[in-house]
Amino acid sequence: MNYMSLQRGAGKGRNHFHIKEWLAGIGLIPQRVAEMSGKNHGVVGDTMRGLRNDKAVLQCLEGLGCPKDLLYPKNPMLKQRKAA
């Protein structure tokens, strides 16, 4: 199964590698985000990959200063639909 086929919803297109890179830049790991948000690490990982949109995890990442364009990527399909 293609990994990209698992992504759907508002998190589709979220690149977890960039979010992990950003976290490493401020000296944190996803496990620490799980502790801070009160969720387990699986929920954090799924939210970072775009498989889930857990509010507590997203708010925690926003509170840490994660750039919004990493959390809420632009949907290129939206432009194509409007143009058509």
Helix, strand, coil content of the chain in percent (nearest 5): 65, 0, 35
Grade residue 66 by pLDDT with cuts at 50, 70 and 90: very high
Looking at per-residue pLDDT, the higher value among 19 and 11 belongs to: 19
Grade residue 81 by pLDDT with cuts at 50, 70 and 90: low
- Give residue 71's identity as a one-letter amino acid code: L
**Alpha-carbon distance 6 to 13, whole Å?**
11
Average pLDDT, the chain: 83
User: How many other C-beta atoms are found inside a 10 Å radius of the C-beta of residue 63?
Assistant: 10
**Alpha-carbon distance 8 to 55, whole Å?**
16
Across the range 38-63, mean pLDDT stands at 93
% of the chain residues with pLDDT over 70? 76
pLDDT for 38 equals: 96
